[in-house]
Structure 1
């Protein structure tokens, strides 16, 4: 035998770089079929597989393998140890000049592994072959598997020629990016280029029987880079479709790549449209940019841009800008209208580890008040059902030391989409100093009234702007700016009284700075109040005092460890507080006003020049009041249902049930405030709490339903009057609650939640730009795991969320329920691939359904289908979608929708 056999081994290994390809014609060639025979000279037991390590072989003497004694000349092809094994035998045939490795044969060289039922090395033809072998049933098994790094190829057989350094692979199967590729014949041109003939490539997981595939007669394949094909046709369930291309280019890289985004098409009340088409820019590893547009045949158009950026362990964020120019009807018609809409969103989050002493964050959502209601390209219920848009951009910095100082700068925005009013704070600066204990000992705990005295310093300066949607970003927006600053110094202490009572004393000093005030007078001629703006610095100072004392009382009743209820504990926390707020009359003036009903009579009108400033006018009314409160918690120890448990379970019977009121010592009438009642009643532990709230009033009402300084019981009524009450609860449960496998869902960051959508889906589930429900991937994964479950009908996955609220009002003898409603949302997975759900509610007072959404989702393995339907209301609409799941082929889809009427 010649030493070239090792060169053949090396090249066969080197060739086995994963591949699949063909962009040129390759004639069919028959593989070499070799019948496996057990060598009678070399016997290897089945239970003891033989393994040898070879670096260089030269001469065979009899049946012994010896090393070449001649030192090889020149460069060596094999640079590492080659190991090989076979379960049945490894045989060298001197007659055929071949080496056979049979049954679970394996060759390993560096990071490359070859597995096959039969591996043959032919030294005469300088070729290497790898095949499968028949199993006990005669089926073809142990097909070759070639693995190098993270690349794997699984053909039926392989043939490699050492002289030409080319190889042919038959019926190869490999995975590249999201594609599974099957090629009838593969030709290796060099290390990085392969050609394939009669190729199927698909994203279906079932490679042998895909639900769809693309068929190309010739393709060129560059691993981890691209597939270039000639004529390509799309097959669905092995049925050819008219969908085809004269050529195709499919990027295989796992990295983001710039490219065009194909638009979807359809029709609407603005005519036919092309929607959400544009270009994606893969700017760098840290940022990208997507530019989309839409055009309608009546002349309307949309533009949007979105960028995502992230740097590991530093920050991540997203910025989105949308603009729409909407036309109704046609030019020249009476109902023709033109308007523009826009929306700006920005989210920025800093990693907590990036800088522990400073932090920058942003959450911005602002734009036209009618954007979500009128946009044709928006379908998220959480967006148009929410009446408020809000934004916040903030930076905070902590200065370490003693005392510690915290600085924060923020810009805030709040917008009511119904009234179109906008409130902005540009900016707000806050500075705070940590508590200082001037009389505390240098070592040891602080004790007593003096040692616990502490003080702080807080500063807040801000500039507020109030405007409307029509004046936003206009010069008039800045004309009414209102800015000022507030300094606050709280001083407090706490101490024990008679060992069991906890007391605290607090005093606050406030100084307010403003930069404009308002002088008021009366114009007798015009009979109106005249307000003059004084643009200069001014200030006022206020202070107040408060104290409180309270304790905790425990009550315990034991029933015995042999009882089901072993003990009940009652915890009461009574407290009494005293508050005093002086009157600051020095900041008030007056002017004379003629009584319109009697011109000869004049009235004195009091006012403060600080009315209308940023923090308002100081209080003029002296108040001195006593506050009373009592909170109750009722708990029980019960025998555990788990017979192996050694400790009883603790359950809550009454959670923080509290009563509170106050008595105004400085008032001349109606001194006692209504008694407030708050509490929670646990029904199902950690799942359902009924929250109750209400107010009761001891004072009576006169004939005009106004409170009078007379007890209700003295006026012929009961001890007190229920003035208002509220009962509410929310409950969510699923099949997992009954299987003992309940898990909390991760909060998914999506646009619906950012813009006000509820996480319990009671307003309906949100969708992305393609109509995909945000949690749809979870449904697909769960379905895939259960799709072959024979007992699926006995454990159908489902979930249900409920919300109930009822409000009662009797302030002025209305004795009516002002609101009474129930909302619900749920999903049922009726089969491993079907999920149906809905969100709705019913107004029990008005006897009508609230916003209703019905959802249907179908997992089609490689495809997904969904139908989203709002059956009634002014938002009545539906949306149907079917498309390929894989992001690389996401443009292969069909969608159809009926839009809601967004005209206000």
Structure 2
């Protein structure tokens, strides 16, 4: 017996080694109709059949002389019922919860038999009291696991047979009826099913292969393969397959989808994926339509851990309407460029580079084939920013920033570019501050700064973008500013600050103006060359904080109300810089003999404009108010009363021009917010009040409105708006999950981060929601549906009022909402809509339906009316490795070239 113990232990080692290398890999399939065969799984083997099988096996004895074998680790084995050694049969039996540990490898089974005579190891499950086959073998090493029904391993031939093995690799679960180990690197499997379903024994779908040759970590070669859905064979299949195995991303083809549209029959979003390296990839896809239209898209993701991450995308479309030679034939080209780059803050604390680019043709989102996001279509602005900043530590600290910016109006097709913008700033210097301790008084708080802003700005239109004409009217300039200020207290309660600022402006060209009587118009001559002007001003302010408290008693529900007032008075002095102004003569259009003198500055039209011509001396007034209350807490165990805000930051401000000859008092500006639900709902309001009256031409005159038969104040404009988001989690006491707005496709394209205008969709009509049911409780422990139905709602209200010229017009008045509710387990519906009270119409509306089919995801999006009327239906496998297996139908919105 001592001679056979090493053989027994080595059988364990090789058995466990075999179980580790036999694991599933990711498999992809194409769609070719084949004839199917019904799956057949080997029946479970009970304990009575085990003895019969052992008696029927080959009885040829092996040589009793064996070479000594050595173990590299301790072998531990246990069993719940018994561990029995049979000298007669030369076998060892481990029964009921049998387990063997060797190093990091483990085998568990209901019954483990070691046949030392034939050098074979057997592992089986056992039947329980009701006849169920339980305690099936489980082989594990580290995180890898194989779960067959039974296993047989021969030590001499180093071959093994595994029955009904269950393995998992990446997103695939694989079950094979019979697996044969040929040698260390080749395995053959028969009647294999692989799926991404969690239950490999009863999957919603699976791919069935009759024969498989498996080379670990290299490849899988299969025979006939076809797809089953709910155990029903489908025409989707392959006569054979070759699948390379690797843990890294691999390059491969993207299967296009077939459809029909106004551009004809088409193949959409097919291409090739390049797995360039572990740090960067490239996706190239395109679409082709039978009328000649086509689209191209190149997108790349890149990342370097702890340093940076980002992505870039370029999309181009060439679309034809009708056919060449027809009167309604037209064509157009459009493009869109996006780039996002984020640097890890830990990469370099003193410098940072970031980019957020979204530019292209103004009509792209309105007419694009490859996107159907309603939020993008309603967005009127595209913007971009690429910036680099650097901090130079020291005393004083210097901050440097270099940026390129872009802003584009998709309605007017106007484009504003800043290429580049240079900003340099120096931190505050306190030249008279003490070396230690706090700064006190007027003298010690004197401080100064230096700021530089240089910019090259261009204004163009969409048709001239990236053309030489775009640079002809570029405006280049720089502005230096040195603010000098100080602050101190008077009577311990009044805070005083005063200062002055010196600015110097440089420009690269100026504009001379003259009147040409022949053409009866003003002629503007551009004078290229350096020019500059200098300005300065003076300012001072004084303010304090006043507290008022009214107590009602601790036995009252409202125990106290506190009023906090922050009044301030400011004074601003701006001298007149009329020396930078000239005049030209022109004929007075109202008379024939009188000559009119027109003032102008050669700096009009430059980057920073002309300096002020008129002397200004004004006093500003501002009063900020906050009302708070102490109320008795509903919680009887609370010791302190609860503080709530009744009115937050109610501010009233205006100014009085001492140097003005008329209309000296500016309109009174009122702003504030009323908290309704803490951290959830604030009603924001604002308005302008004017004390002056209007004449018959609706222009302000130097006469009080009350003296003109009106009220004391005339409301010129006003606004009220609020937004409120709440969900079932608010009533459960759970916090909302944090979301990154930059991951929202609509928000990255310049739209809203919420779904008030509809949820964004991908090129195939898929809603941008990886798994809306992930992490949601759908059933309780008794198997009944959770009566707490998950839901969420977002509301937005906005109203603008205008009355500058007695029009008394509500220019905008709308309420919008977005909601989602899980009506039943794995069923979610949503709607985004609203109502325009000015135009008496419904705002852009989107209806959404999503169904979680375990391994599959189904979604339906519908815009029932409006210019973007459309619908999209999609059902696909959720696993990314099989995302090309899908069915989709759509009705695209009408597009006019």
Question: TM tier, shorter chain?
Answer: over 0.9
The alpha-carbon distance between structure 1 residues 621 and 29, as it changes in their structure 2 partners (threshold 3 A), is closer
Q: Residue 428 of structure 1 corresponds to which residue in structure 2? A: 421
SS at match of 2:735: coil
Q: Determine which of 742, 750, 764 is the counterpart of 1:770.
A: 764
- Structure 1 residue 12: deviation in Å? 2.4
In 1, are the aligned partners of 2:42 and 2:163 still within 8 Å (CA)? Answer: no
- Structure 1 residue 27: deviation in Å? 13
Q: Residue 333 of structure 1 corresponds to which residue in structure 2? A: 326
State the alpha-carbon separation in 2 of the partners of residues 278 and 21 from structure 1. 27
1:469 aligns with 2:462: yes
Task: Please list, as runs of the form range in 1=range in 2, the aligned pairs for 1:57-68 lying within 5 A after superposition.
Answer: none
The alpha-carbon distance between structure 1 residues 391 and 29, as it changes in their structure 2 partners (threshold 3 A), is closer
Q: Residue 345 of structure 1 corresponds to which residue in structure 2? A: 338
Q: Residue 628 of structure 1 corresponds to which residue in structure 2? A: 621
In 1, are the aligned partners of 2:334 and 2:361 still within 8 Å (CA)? Answer: yes
1:8 aligns with 2:11: yes
In 2, are the aligned partners of 1:21 and 1:195 still within 8 Å (CA)? Answer: no
Q: Residue 142 of structure 2 corresponds to which residue in structure 1? A: 149
Q: Determine which of 801, 809, 814 is the counterpart of 2:807.
A: 814
Q: Residue 385 of structure 2 corresponds to which residue in structure 1? A: 392
Task: Please list, as runs of the form range in 1=range in 2, the aligned pairs for 1:59-78 lying within 5 A after superposition.
Answer: 76-78=69-71
1:609 aligns with 2:612: no
In 1, are the aligned partners of 2:24 and 2:169 still within 8 Å (CA)? Answer: no
State the alpha-carbon separation in 1 of the partners of residues 777 and 792 from structure 2. 19
- Structure 1 residue 793: deviation in Å? 5.7
1:590 aligns with 2:590: no
1:557 aligns with 2:550: yes
The alpha-carbon distance between structure 1 residues 582 and 21, as it changes in their structure 2 partners (threshold 3 A), is closer
In 1, are the aligned partners of 2:448 and 2:483 still within 8 Å (CA)? Answer: yes
In 1, are the aligned partners of 2:315 and 2:336 still within 8 Å (CA)? Answer: yes
Task: Please list, as runs of the form range in 1=range in 2, the aligned pairs for 1:625-774 lying within 5 A after superposition.
Answer: 625-748=618-741, 749-774=743-768
Further displaced range: 822-831 or 703-712: 703-712
- Structure 1 residue 599: deviation in Å? 3.5
State the alpha-carbon separation in 2 of the partners of residues 10 and 772 from structure 1. 49
SS at match of 1:450: helix
Further displaced range: 764-773 or 885-894: 764-773
State the alpha-carbon separation in 1 of the partners of residues 890 and 10 from structure 2. 64
Report the TM-score when normalising by structure 2. Answer: 0.94
State the alpha-carbon separation in 2 of the partners of residues 192 and 770 from structure 1. 41
SS at match of 2:775: helix
Q: Residue 170 of structure 2 corresponds to which residue in structure 1? A: 177
State the alpha-carbon separation in 1 of the partners of residues 359 and 808 from structure 2. 41
The alpha-carbon distance between structure 1 residues 850 and 30, as it changes in their structure 2 partners (threshold 3 A), is closer
- State the Cα RMSD in Å: 2.3
- Structure 1 residue 379: deviation in Å? 1.1
In 2, are the aligned partners of 1:513 and 1:538 still within 8 Å (CA)? Answer: yes
Q: Determine which of 572, 576, 599 is the counterpart of 1:579.
A: 572
1:548 aligns with 2:541: yes
Q: Residue 55 of structure 1 corresponds to which residue in structure 2? A: none
SS at match of 1:537: strand
State the alpha-carbon separation in 2 of the partners of residues 626 and 807 from structure 1. 29
- Structure 1 residue 31: deviation in Å? 9.1
- Deviation digits for residues 631-662 of structure 1 (CA, Å, limit 9, x no counterpart): 11011112222222222211111100111111
SS at match of 2:237: strand
- Structure 1 residue 6: deviation in Å? 3.1
SS at match of 2:738: coil
- Structure 1 residue 248: deviation in Å? 2.4
- Structure 1 residue 787: deviation in Å? 8.5
The alpha-carbon distance between structure 1 residues 894 and 77, as it changes in their structure 2 partners (threshold 3 A), is farther
State the alpha-carbon separation in 2 of the partners of residues 635 and 205 from structure 1. 55
The alpha-carbon distance between structure 1 residues 284 and 226, as it changes in their structure 2 partners (threshold 3 A), is same
State the alpha-carbon separation in 1 of the partners of residues 360 and 237 from structure 2. 43
In 1, are the aligned partners of 2:41 and 2:164 still within 8 Å (CA)? Answer: no
State the alpha-carbon separation in 1 of the partners of residues 776 and 183 from structure 2. 42
- Deviation digits for residues 18-39 of structure 1 (CA, Å, limit 9, x no counterpart): 526899x9999999865599xx
Q: Residue 315 of structure 2 corresponds to which residue in structure 1? A: 322
1:231 aligns with 2:221: no
The alpha-carbon distance between structure 1 residues 599 and 125, as it changes in their structure 2 partners (threshold 3 A), is same
SS at match of 1:7: helix
- Structure 1 residue 763: deviation in Å? 1.0
SS at match of 2:450: strand
Q: Residue 291 of structure 1 corresponds to which residue in structure 2? A: 284
Q: Residue 236 of structure 2 corresponds to which residue in structure 1? A: 243
- Structure 1 residue 136: deviation in Å? 2.6
In 1, are the aligned partners of 2:79 and 2:96 still within 8 Å (CA)? Answer: yes
SS at match of 1:197: strand
- Deviation digits for residues 40-73 of structure 1 (CA, Å, limit 9, x no counterpart): xxxxxxxxxxxxxxxxxxxxxxxxxxxxxx9x96
State the alpha-carbon separation in 1 of the partners of residues 244 and 541 from structure 2. 72
Report the TM-score when normalising by structure 1. Answer: 0.93
The alpha-carbon distance between structure 1 residues 225 and 573, as it changes in their structure 2 partners (threshold 3 A), is farther
- Deviation digits for residues 464-491 of structure 1 (CA, Å, limit 9, x no counterpart): 1111111111111111111011100011
Q: Determine which of 557, 560, 572 is the counterpart of 1:567.
A: 560
- Structure 1 residue 319: deviation in Å? 1.0
Q: Residue 49 of structure 1 corresponds to which residue in structure 2? A: none
- Structure 1 residue 809: deviation in Å? 2.0
State the alpha-carbon separation in 1 of the partners of residues 545 and 41 from structure 2. 91
State the alpha-carbon separation in 1 of the partners of residues 685 and 44 from structure 2. 81
Q: Residue 209 of structure 1 corresponds to which residue in structure 2? A: 202
- Deviation digits for residues 95-131 of structure 1 (CA, Å, limit 9, x no counterpart): 1111011111111111110000110101122110001
State the alpha-carbon separation in 2 of the partners of residues 387 and 268 from structure 1. 27
SS at match of 1:143: coil
State the alpha-carbon separation in 2 of the partners of residues 224 and 775 from structure 1. 33
State the alpha-carbon separation in 2 of the partners of residues 438 and 191 from structure 1. 80
State the alpha-carbon separation in 2 of the partners of residues 420 and 27 from structure 1. 66
Further displaced range: 885-894 or 379-388: 379-388
State the alpha-carbon separation in 2 of the partners of residues 13 and 154 from structure 1. 12
- Structure 1 residue 673: deviation in Å? 1.1
- Structure 1 residue 219: deviation in Å? 1.1
Q: Residue 135 of structure 1 corresponds to which residue in structure 2? A: 128
State the alpha-carbon separation in 1 of the partners of residues 722 and 151 from structure 2. 67
Q: Residue 83 of structure 1 corresponds to which residue in structure 2? A: 76
Further displaced range: 540-549 or 740-749: 740-749
The alpha-carbon distance between structure 1 residues 560 and 222, as it changes in their structure 2 partners (threshold 3 A), is farther
- Structure 1 residue 300: deviation in Å? 0.7
State the alpha-carbon separation in 1 of the partners of residues 330 and 43 from structure 2. 72
Q: Residue 43 of structure 1 corresponds to which residue in structure 2? A: none
State the alpha-carbon separation in 2 of the partners of residues 353 and 202 from structure 1. 41
The alpha-carbon distance between structure 1 residues 465 and 32, as it changes in their structure 2 partners (threshold 3 A), is closer
Q: Residue 264 of structure 2 corresponds to which residue in structure 1? A: 271
Q: Residue 507 of structure 1 corresponds to which residue in structure 2? A: 500
In 2, are the aligned partners of 1:21 and 1:186 still within 8 Å (CA)? Answer: no
5+ residue gaps, structure 2, are: 28-36, 51-64
Q: Residue 512 of structure 2 corresponds to which residue in structure 1? A: 519
SS at match of 2:529: coil
SS at match of 1:477: helix
State the alpha-carbon separation in 2 of the partners of residues 189 and 762 from structure 1. 61
